[in-house]
């Protein structure tokens, strides 16, 4: 069953450990929204709205949902019923789980306030900037904050976050701020604070 049909954390799978490259769905029942698709990265992480990067591999759906629930309830939510399911697991190439041998393919992932969140391939014959990556994801959604776009990159020294003002790039033509995307980069577009 997908995350869109479940309403209780007790129904979540508590026997199958999540693996890198699993395609999952995530939903908070109290938000009354649709389930969000997300792919576990090769390092075994997912990016959760309002939480950030969470280590997922090795945990069951129920264990990961409980971990996310406690983080959400410590900051934003009074009660968060977190529904998380594995929708698809790519076939193993070696029989022992995913071994990362998609030779030559490079990817970036876009989360947050864009029209099409997800994982996108970087063509081997072209360089892609962060503004082009956002356009591939359908462009900014209505409540996106283009002035504070986060680019999360894994480096030998650990994870590094680069803040990019895409408003400067896309509206003012300040192309010097348009950072090039590398394999494994994650782009996060937050909501702007809207006062009604």
pLDDT in tens, the chain (196 residues): 677 788 899 999 999 999 988 889 999 999 888 888 888 888 788 888 888 888 999 999 999 999 999 999 998 899 999 999 998 887 764 444 444 444 457 889 998 898 888 888 887 777 899 999 999 888 998 889 999 999 999 888 888 999 999 999 988 888 888 999 998 899 999 988 765 5
H or E element that contains 187: strand 186-191
pTM as predicted: 0.52
Domain spans in the chain, listed from the N-terminal domain onward = 9-88, 106-191
Neighbours of 22 (CB within 10 A): 23
CATH, domain range 9-88: 3.30.1950.10
Q: How many helices (H) and strands (E) does the chain have?
A: 3, 10
Domain 106-191 indexed as CATH 3.10.560.10: yes
Contacts of 128 (CB under 8 A, 6+ apart): 108, 122, 136, 180, 181
Q: Which residues pair with 36 in a beta bridge?
A: 26
How far is the C-alpha of 107 from the C-alpha of 98, rounded, in Å? 16
């Amino acid at each position: 069953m997908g995350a869109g049909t479940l309403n209780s954390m007790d129904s979540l799978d508590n026997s199958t450990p999540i693996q890198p490259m699993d395609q999952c769905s995530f939903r908070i029942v109290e938000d009354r929204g649709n389930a969000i698709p997300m792919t576990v990265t090769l390092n075994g992480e997912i990016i959760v709205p309002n939480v950030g990067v969470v280590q997922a591999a090795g945990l069951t759906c129920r264990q990961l949902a409980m971990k996310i629930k406690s983080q959400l309830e410590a900051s934003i939510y009074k009660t968060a019923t977190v529904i998380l399911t594995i929708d698809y697991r790519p076939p193993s190439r070696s029989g022992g789980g995913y071994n990362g041998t998609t030779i030559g393919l490079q990817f970036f992932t876009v989360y947050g306030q864009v029209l099409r969140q997800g994982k996108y391939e970087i063509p081997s014959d072209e360089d892609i900037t962060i503004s082009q990556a956002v356009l591939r994801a359908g462009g900014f959604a209505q409540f996106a904050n283009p002035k504070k776009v986060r680019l999360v990159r894994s480096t030998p020294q650990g994870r590094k976050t680069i803040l990019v003002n895409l408003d400067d790039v896309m509206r003012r033509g300040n192309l010097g701020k348009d950072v090039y995307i590398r394999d494994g980069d994650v782009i996060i577009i937050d909501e702007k604070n809207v006062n009604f």
